[in-house]
Amino acid sequence: MVRALHKSSGAALWAVFIFAAGLAAPDRAAAQEGDAQLGLPPGTTAPDAQVEDLDGNEVSLLEVVGGGPALIEFWASWCEQCELLQPEIDAVQERFGEKIKVVAVAVAVSQSVRRVRRHVDRHDPGYTFVYDAKGEAVRAYEALTTSIVVLVDGEGRIVSTGVGPKQGLVEAVEGMLGDGATPG
């Protein structure tokens, strides 16, 4: 019982930390202007981490992402900022889905894989969700809050990291892919 209480207290403390970090975190523009460092710096090779697919199988995040450009969102079903960010993620998927891999990394704080699956079944986002059961992806990408989006280029390098609902993701992806980014 003491171990269970300690475990749930740790999860609650982690949730408070993530929430507090989210309140203090800058948006993409501020992070790009150098006002604050958010996550890994641009030019860093995107790290790998072991995550789970929604069936509970351990998979490599970089294998899920594949070898091309990617948008990785650190997401939670309870995250209001993630909900507000959803239209931007959907717009990127709709406009660039054949040119960029969109992956949502569901953090394991205050949500189960079952809850993530229900969300995916209900909303049918059209892109891949994985579950970060052990927090490896969160640690590898220094994603201290949810609604963080990391853009990775075709060479596997981080282009930018932003947080919150107003990141200008369509424009950021256009810039990353170059002028000929409109789907054919």
The Cα-based distances of 44 to 31, 117, 118, 153, 156 in angstroms read 15, 31, 34, 11, 9
Residue type, 24: A
User: pLDDT: is 176 or 23 the higher one?
Assistant: 176
Q: Is pLDDT at 26 greater than 50 in this prediction?
A: no
Can you tell me the mean pLDDT for 32-46?
Answer: 76
pLDDT in tens, 130-170: 999 999 999 999 999 999 999 999 999 999 999 999 999 99
Q: What is the pTM of this model?
A: 0.79
pLDDT in tens, 75-101: 999 999 999 999 999 999 999 999 999
* E strands, the chain, in order: 50-52, 58-60, 70-75, 101-107, 128-132, 148-152, 158-163
User: pLDDT: is 23 or 144 the higher one?
Assistant: 144
CB 105 within 8 A of CB 74: yes
Domains of the chain, with CATH numbers?
2-177 (3.40.30.10)
User: pLDDT: is 5 or 130 the higher one?
Assistant: 130
pLDDT of residue 24: 37
Q: Is pLDDT at 33 greater than 50 in this prediction?
A: no
